[in-house]
Structure 1
Amino acid sequence: MEGVILPIPTPFDEKGNLSLDGYQDYLDFLIEKGVNGFMVGGTNGEFHVMDVEERKELLEFVV
């Protein structure tokens, strides 16, 4: 891997549910600015509080 790999936050709504609305726009913006890859579910991603289905949904969305 090379280039800029950015840890990205995970979007949640006000009830604490995974919220992917508008997330594609955020990812597209980062790509347009030169980000080469994303670290999904890292320390910024709240991965430790997500259940398995939420993790799968998030990873499939970003991939």
Structure 2
Amino acid sequence: MSYTFYKGKGSWMIEGILYRYNPWWKGKFNLPNIIERPNFLELMCKYLLSLQIVFLTGLRRRG
């Protein structure tokens, strides 16, 4: 694996590490363990065009 270094705002970033944590940058990305949540999706779509501010809270990652 080759690395390209970027200097930005006082820190160095390594392209290889960034691609490892952002695999969708390489093209089509499939989430094999995604859980469909139709109840939440339907509820969120209901508020999508409203002018209300809606907060969605919960655990981002766990395990």
TM-score normalised to the size of structure 2? 0.23
Q: Decide which structure has the larger Cα Rg and report it.
A: 2
